[in-house]
Structures are given as structure tokens and as C-alpha cells.
Amino acid sequence: MYIASTYVIVPHIAPKFGREKISQNSNLSSHFFLTDLLNRNYVKPELNYILVDISKVFKVEYSNIKIQYLDANFPFWDGFPLLPHLSHNDGKKIDISFLYEDEKGNTTNLKPSTSGYGVFVEPNKNSTNQTEICKTKGYWQYDFPKYLTFGSFNKNIRLSEKATKNLILEILKHKNVSKVFIEPHLKNRLKINNNRIRFHGCKAVRHDDHIHFQIN
């Protein structure tokens, strides 16, 4: 009954709450099957459009690469929490995975963890270590996603700085994208200067394992 409701009934009810199921295609999919099974894959139509548009544009340069989304929002009721997130409760927010490359420098669809969360891109020696700063201030939860990987693997892949930067720039091309959250050291590392890229604050969790963006 639950599976039937998830895949047959809920998609038809969600529009009454101003949300719709993310439109998957050959270049856009969920990373973790539980995201869809647990109905964590609903967004406002405007955000759905942006996701599909980004995936189509990205296909031109990266024909074999999928944009993989992580947690979005539940299908019903603004304000209903999507734990453990603080703000994924209105259909306007989504997390998407970084893009990675293999040892030969080829962009790959492989990810370092099952859930898509919890395997971090650590700051360089000369970069600001926001995790240490936040935890020193008492925000113990800042790197808590390291316990939510559901298994980590693909140890030989690393962040594709070029592809991930291009992905963020494609997101920022959409004027109704109001905020993008990544860790401060990554903003500097990727050399992206845009005032919509923000620090999410120590009350959240670290964002050097995924990109969070939201619309107005």
C-alpha cells in the first residue's frame, strides 16, 4: 500500500500543495533510491524547471554525466520538517551532488558514499577550516553527516573542480535562484565570486559534500 501510494497516489495529490515530483530524465536522477521511496523528492514547479534545464544544458558538454539530486522536500505542507535538514520544508530547496573524476581525470557518475552525504572535500592547509571554527564554538553537529553515509566507497575518485564549478555557474544563471550554500573554502578554491553563494552558518552542517540551492 505504501509503495502504491508513493508512486501512484502522492504524485497526483502533491500539486494541490504547490509541489511536484522531480522530473527525472537521462541526465537527471536521484542518487539514492530511498530519496524517492521516502517521498523526499518534491519541489515547487519553478525549481523543477531549473533542475531539468540544468540537466539539458549540462548534457551538451558532459553527455555521459547525470545531475544527481539528494534530498529535496516532502510533497505536502509548508513547514513540515525534512529531518535532519533545517530548511527543506517549503518545496524551494534541494541538495545536489558534487561531480567527481577518476584517477585519469575523467568525469564520472560515481560518488563517494551511498547516501551522497558525509564524505567531505577537506580544506587545503592554507584554507579556512570552518568545521574546526564551528565545533570550537560548540556546534558539535557541524560534521554529523559523516555518520549518515550508509557506506563509503570509490576511494580513488576526487572532486572534479572544473565540472562542479560549471554546475554551480549553471545554477547561478537562473535569476530566481536566491542562495547557494557550499563551504567557504570551496568557494575560494573554485574561484566563484557571486554574492548568492553564502555561508550557511554553524547551526547547520558542513556543505563540502554537496551543493544546496534554493529559489525565491
pLDDT tens digits, one per residue of 38-61: 999 999 999 999 999 999 999 999
- Segment among 31-40, 78-87, 204-213 with least mean pLDDT: 78-87
User: What does the alpha-carbon distance between residue 15 and residue 2 come to, in Å, rounded to a whole number?
Assistant: 19
pLDDT at 139: 96
Task: Say whether pLDDT at 81 is over 90.
Answer: no
User: What does the alpha-carbon distance between residue 121 and residue 134 come to, in Å, rounded to a whole number?
Assistant: 17
Percent residues over pLDDT 70 in the chain: 100
Q: In which band, very low, low, confident or very high, does the pLDDT at 101 lie, cut at 50, 70 and 90?
A: very high
User: The pTM is what?
Assistant: 0.94
pLDDT at 2: 94
Q: In which band, very low, low, confident or very high, does the pLDDT at 86 lie, cut at 50, 70 and 90?
A: confident
111 near 66, Cβ under 8 Å?
Answer: no
Phi, psi of 86 (to 5 degrees): -90, -25
Query: Mean pLDDT score of the chain, rounded to an integer?
Result: 95
17 near 76, Cβ under 8 Å?
Answer: yes
User: What does the alpha-carbon distance between residue 205 and residue 145 come to, in Å, rounded to a whole number?
Assistant: 7
pLDDT at 155: 92
